[in-house]
Structure 1
Amino acid sequence: MRRAVLAAVAVVAAVVAVNTQSEKLDYAAIGKIRDEGFNRSQVMDHISWLSDVYGPRLTGSPAIQQASEWAMRKFGEWGLANIHQERWKFGKGWSLVRFSAMMLEPQPQPIIGYPREWSSGTKGPVTADVVRVQIANEADFAKYRGTLAGKIVLTQPARRVRMLEGPIILRMDDQYEKEAETTPVPAPAAGRGRGPSTGSGQVPATAAQAFRDKLEEFYAAEAVVATFDRGSDSDMADGGSTLSWQQQHPDGGTIFPSGSFARDDKVGKSVPGLTIAVEHYNRMIRVLDKGLPVRVELNVETKYYDEAGMNGFNTIADLPGGDLASEIVLLGAHFDSHPYATGATDNATGSAAMMEAVRILKASGVKPRRTIRVALWGGEEQGLLGSKAYVADHLADVDTMTLKPEHAKLSAYFNSDNGTGRVRGVWLQSNLAVRPIFERWLEPLKDLGVTILSPRSVSQTDHLSFDNAGVPAFQFLVDRLEYNSRTHHSNMDVYDRVQRDDMVQQATVIAVFAFEAATADEKLPRKALPAPQRPAGRGTTSSAQR
């Protein structure tokens, strides 16, 4: 069977290769795109607006609505069409109003930290003693019952802080390029995307999550003032995209808050929870171990937003095509961010690159045959919710794999969501039939360092929603730089970490790729349609409700 499948793939690839040889690239048009992209780039200005002015852009917050309105105004200025929002049910929104934390004893010290998203507030400034707990299961509750009222609780042990010994900056050197061009042995099957979602967009509880919920209820019942954590137990992070590369978190005041409080009917019922710098956290532990008091003044004010107007949305605009205008080439990036910084590299860079790509195409005067649509997704950080909602509305019910008419009209989806690095190629998502096509499309981009076509399937971002619906969907392969070491989901994801030259290249490469997809004689070849996610008879649950 495997030999038959491989033979079939080889035949398809051979047919595609013959067809692509007869297609001529429009080098004059590509030259215009490159000229506009490199000589009149506006991508850094887009990033500044999205991060400096409207960041952070947490889904359901006023800031992401303001950012969307700004993006739609820009689309209008550039002459795009069909500019609109598409809304879907998300749950309560949240934003931080103000925050301060100051150690008072044993000596005064400002504390670097940030409330975790959807945290409640302190109802004004409070001063409290800090205590440390060691709670591994519900049986441990008894040791602390009646002792924590009015206290700030440290929830983890100290963590060793190392010098910068590991890699901080990752680029696709020869070693990683060779690895990317291999096909890894598949891991045991684990659900699609970031896990299934309920109708409200919440990830179903696991045993570990159920215990965390019980722990939050315990802290609230004990009248704890707030909890402090110091983030991950390790200072190392995967480089991402299934490769073996690793990056070291630099610490030094950079924090990586993890975990979100509920945004359903439990919203606001937990005590405030904050992640603080590991160095400040460790100091508190050491002082407590000496039997001395630690006192902190804390002020957290947050605000929640009701669902009434549907807090989730995607922002859409079209560059109309010509003779094949009913067919779509879709460019997408998630527009939302976590609230801990300004969401510059995750993902103002990807959103700005897609915006700039359509601006370049419009300004250069080239004539795509297919319509090029740009979509800026909300809710990616909570489980690819915006792109899932688009798929459900426009393309397919993936629970039953019932296709809608637009499914046949979508030629391809291209995604950008790995930071500020240069485009080095494309993750083929196991769609080997597109390789000869993409090899030809890369010819006018090789001088820009775009050479890699990895057969690997990658996940954890919005192209997966389309891949799971049987649409050709691809993530651009970029240099990770400091993405996983310093900026990804941290308090240092700010404009200053963005690399201008790399972003100019990224937006221009995406514009060229979109143009080539929109002018090709045929839509891109597709993999076999995936099996339904919920076979008939088991019931269905939409990932995002309209």
Structure 2
Amino acid sequence: MKRNRFIGCFILVLVAFTFSPSQDRGVRPAPVSRPDKAEIATVNRIWEEGVNRSRLMESLSYLTDVIGPRIPGSPAMSKGHEWAVARFKEFGMVNAAIEPSGEYGPGWQNEYVSVHLTAPAYQPVLAFPVPWTMGTKGKIIGQPVLAVIGSKSDMEKYKGKLKGAIVFTQPPRKTQPVFEPAARRYSEADLKKLTETPIPLKPPKAKAKKPDELKWEDLVEFYRAEDVGVLVETSSGRSDYGTVHVDAYKSVGRDHLIPNQSPRIVMAAEHYARICRIMNFKVPVTLEVEVRNAFYDKDLQGYNVVAEIPGTDRKDELVMLGGHFDSWAGGTGAVDDAAGCAVAMEAMRILKALGVKPRRTIRAAFWTGEEQGFYGSRGYVARHFGDTDKKSLSQLDLREYEESWRNPLGDSKKLFAKPDYDKISGYFNYDNGSGRIRGIYIQENFQVRPIFEEWMKPLQDLGVSTIALRPTEGTDHLPFDYIGIPGFQFIQDPLDYFPNLHHTNQDIYDHCVEEDLIQSAVVMAVFVYQTAMRDERLPRKPLPIPVEVR
């Protein structure tokens, strides 16, 4: 008896401690309510509107073909923001606006690039400038130099020898034939594998750098001091056949903050290798290279675009959806991620066209700076919903983040939540190419599984059948998820996203699959609508730190 009374008292104390306000870890007990069921009649109407009167590809074409690539802070990005606001208003959304997301850094835009091999035989050369690098000082005509620098001793070897030079920085890469199809859909076996949740194990620590090993920033400073004419890299091994992979990740998300980077271009692997082979014959080679890039530093803010369908009896509560608006500059940012923005915009258009009256307000958001580390979504979440005592979102250090293991909040001790933290039900993201939706990653949120299973039942014939408990990385759902707000990325058919399209010159409208995007807009509209109509908000995962509402 004494033991039983002790256990009873212990349980009461534990319960009181667990749910006291000072120890709130972002989880509320879910009230008992009716089971979640998909509103089949509304799903049918969403399908009919989305398939028969789609405006999606029209939006996607204008954004990618007319406006083009969208580096944050560039004139093209600003023009795209203005177009998105006008388009949302055209479709009947309210509160469409361009909203600051916090300091980002300078903008950049390529204005011109021209590369030619003129001797010993003429060939136009396929190459693209690296974002946030400078342009050349007019046209450079000269013989390239192969200077592979991987250590401090290499720097000493070439010191004082590269002024004004066209510097090939890597050995040529041998291309290989590809024996697998360029595009594929998930098979039933693939989807089944996604439903398996491996137990996460902490990886071993990274090896310490060798004393002579260079940091990328050291190399940037060396080339700047040498006053090189232009640096030339070969396209990476992810894709060949004239596909050029070009982005800017050398400084782990800080490339855009490093000023006066020497002119740098990435060349198609085949063209790069040909030039290197000619040099090996000791035959004189002449290249003509000209690059014009512009920087924009008058306004260092980042900006998102938002628009709403107002709610009714719970209009002060939110459901959100979106994708990232920024892109790289090799292509036009079509599959990554104008496709996601077009899908979210079309989902909003469908719901507005049907005249639905959602209980919660539905808000779409197009994020900036995703490619540099979720600048737009991190800033938005921090400003609207909260941040930790260590400012884990607004001042995220990507290097520390990448070295952490299952601990995105670092050494934070508390989440300082804003009033809207308890008013958002969930966020749905689309950012894995243009492949159709096959299911959803639920980010280890066990409680949403039975809810989503019900919503997916009428979508089974569209191929939507899979719920993956495991988390997925690399998209704008993460800042929501990090502070306990349900944030989700859909499972999408891979198609030819990797390696052919992702961050390459082939990331263009022509490689977006219309029927897949139409299906995706329908599915996203269903998920968003169902979330907006629930009696309760979506259940939340526990947080490892307490929450204090301010």
- TMscore range, shorter length: 0.7 to 0.9
1:257 pairs with 2:246: yes
User: 1: CA distance between counterparts of 2:455 and 2:47?
Assistant: 14
Tell me the alpha carbon deviations over residues 115-143 of structure 1, each in whole angstroms, 9 at most, x when there is no partner.
Answer: 00011011211102101112211121121
State the Cα distance separating 1:184 from its structure 2 match.
2.0
Change (3 A) 1:321 1:207: farther
CA distance in 1, matches of 2:469, 2:258: 43
The yes-or-no answer on 1:54 pairing with 2:58 is no
* Aligned residue number for residue 324 of structure 1: 314
* 2:278 counterpart of 1:287: yes
Aligned partner of 1:78 among 71, 91, 95: 91
Matched AA of 2:452 = F
Equivalent position to 1:300, from 291, 294, 298 = 291
Q: 1:111 to 1:36 in 2, by over 3 A?
A: same
Instruction: Quote the residue 1:66 is aligned against.
Output: 79
* Structure 1 CA distance for aligned equivalents of residues 140 and 423 of structure 2: 58
For residues 447-496 of structure 1, the C-alpha deviation after alignment (integer angstroms, 9 at most, x for no partner) is 11100001110111100010001101100111010111211100110000
Matches within 5 A, 1:500-519: 500-519=514-533
Q: In the superposition, relative to structure 1, how do residues 466 and 67 fare at CA in structure 2: closer, same or farther (>3 Å)?
A: same
Alignment equivalent of 1:360, drawn from 344, 350, 354: 350
Task: Say if 2:190 is the partner of 1:186.
Answer: no
- Aligned partner letter, 1:294: V
Question: Judging changes above 3 Å, is the alpha-carbon distance between structure 1 residues 210 and 410 closer, same or farther for their aligned structure 2 residues?
Answer: farther
Q: Deviations over 1:172-207 (max 9, x none)?
A: 10221111001023142799xxxxxxxxxxxxx999
Name 2:222's counterpart in structure 1: 218
Q: Distance in 1 between matches of 2:51 and 2:480?
A: 30
| 231 and 20 in structure 1: CA distance in 2 versus 1, 3 angstrom threshold | farther
Amino acid at match of 1:427: Y
Choose 145-154 or 408-417, whichever is displaced more: 145-154
Greater Cα shift, 257-266 or 361-370: 257-266
Q: Which region of structure 1 is more displaced relative to structure 2, 340-349 or 80-89?
A: 80-89
Find the aligned partners of 1:228 and 1:452 in 2 and give their Cα distance: 44
1:58-105 CA distances to partner (integer Å, 9 max, x unpaired)?
A: 111111111111111111122211221221211110001111000112
2:389 is the alignment partner of 1:376: no
Q: Cα offset for 1:522?
A: 1.2
Tell me, yes or no, if structure 1 residue 277 matches structure 2 residue 268. yes
**For residues 321 and 204 of structure 2, what CA distance do their matches in structure 1 show?**
27
Distance across 1 between alignment mates of 2:127 and 2:485: 42
Q: C-alpha distance in 1, partners of 2:514/2:488?
A: 24
Q: Which consecutive segments of 4 or more residues in structure 1 shift more than 4 A?
A: 15-20, 205-210, 260-266
Q: Is residue 240 of structure 2 the alignment partner of residue 229 of structure 1?
A: no
My pick for the range that moved more, 124-133 or 139-148, is 139-148
Local SS of the residue matching 1:412: strand
Q: CA deviation at 1:294?
A: 1.8
The one-letter code of the counterpart of 2:47 is R
Residue 138 of structure 2 is aligned to residue 124 of structure 1: yes
Contact 1:137 1:211 in 2 (8 A): no
Distance 1:17 1:496 in 2: 48
- The offset of 1:531, in angstroms, is 3.5
Q: Match for residue 18 of structure 2?
A: none
Q: Which residue of 2 aligns with 1:542?
A: none
Q: Is contact 1:434–1:525 with CA below 8 Å preserved after alignment?
A: yes
**Contact 1:169 / 1:485 at 8 angstroms: preserved in 2?**
no
What secondary structure, in the 3-state scheme, does the structure 1 residue paired with 2:132 have? coil
Match of 2:5 in 1: none
Q: Which amino acid aligns with 2:274?
A: R
Flag structure 1 segments of 5+ consecutive residues without an equivalent: 1-14, 192-204, 236-248, 534-546
Q: Select 1:333's aligned residue among 310, 317, 323.
A: 323
Q: Please give the TM-score of this superposition, normalised by the length of structure 2.
A: 0.85
Contact 1:126-1:299 at 8 Å conserved across structures = yes
Equivalent position amino acid for 1:221 in 2? A
The 1:460–1:152 alpha-carbon spacing in structure 2 relative to 1, beyond 3 Å, is same
Q: 1:285-307: CA deviations, max 9, x gaps? A: 1111111222110110010001x
Q: Matched residues in 2 for 1:44 and 1:352: separation?
A: 8
Q: Secondary structure at the match of 2:290?
A: strand
* Structure 2 CA distance for partners of 1:206 and 1:413, relative to 1, 3 Å: farther
- Specify the SS of the correspondent of 2:282: coil
Evaluate the alpha carbon distance shift between residue 493 and residue 138 of structure 1 in structure 2; reply closer, same or farther with a 3 A threshold: same
Indicate if the aligned counterparts of 1:380 and 1:387 stay in contact, CA closer than 8 A: yes
Asked if 2 retains the 8 angstrom alpha-carbon contact of 1:470 and 1:530, the reply is no
Instruction: Spell out the pairing of 1:10-29 with structure 2 (5 A cutoff).
Output: 19=33, 21=35, 23-29=36-42
Deviations 1:127-162 (A, max 9, x none): 021011122111211211232223211111111111
Structure 1 residues 260 and 516: CA distance shift in structure 2, 3 A: same
Is the partner of 1:505 in helix, strand or coil?
helix
Q: Is the 8 A contact 1:469 1:530 kept in 2?
A: no
AA matched with 1:53: V
Q: What amino acid does structure 1 have at the position aligned with 2:280?
A: D
Alignment of 1:140-539 (within 5 A): 140-188=154-202, 211-232=215-236, 234-235=237-238, 249=239, 251-259=240-248, 266-267=258-259, 269-306=260-297, 308-398=298-388, 399=390, 400-531=414-545
- Give per-residue Cα distances to partners, 1:231-272, cap 9 Å, x unaligned: 32x33xxxxxxxxxxxxx2x11101024258666742x2220
Deviates most, 137-146 or 336-345: 137-146
**2:143 partner SS:** strand
> Aligned partners of 1:18, 1:111: CA distance in 2, in Å?
66
Aligned-partner Cα distance in 1 for 2:155–2:449: 57
Letter of the aligned partner of 2:320 in structure 1?
A: L
Q: State the identity as a percent.
A: 42
Whichever residue aligns with residue 50 of structure 1, its letter is: L
CA contact (8 A) 1:432 1:455 kept: yes
SS of match in other structure, 1:420: coil
| Conserved? CA contact 1:428–1:453, under 8 Å | yes
2-side partners of 1:333 and 1:127: how far apart?
42
> Separation in 1 of the partners of 2:62 and 2:544?
39
Q: Is the alpha carbon distance of 1:92 and 1:208 closer, same or farther for their aligned partners in structure 2, counting shifts above 3 Å?
A: farther
Mapping 1:94-113, distance limit 5 Å: 94-113=108-127
Deviation at 1:443, TM superposition (A): 1.3
Q: Verify the 8 A CA contact 2:184 2:493 in the aligned structure 1.
A: yes
Deviations 1:489-523 (A, max 9, x none): 00110000011111110111101111111111111
Instruction: Give the unaligned 5+ runs of structure 2.
Output: 1-28, 391-413
Q: CA separation of 1:20/1:109 partners in 2, compared to 1, >3 Å: closer, same or farther?
A: farther
Equivalent pair of 2:438/2:463 in contact (CA under 8 Å): yes
Change (3 A) 1:349 1:150: same
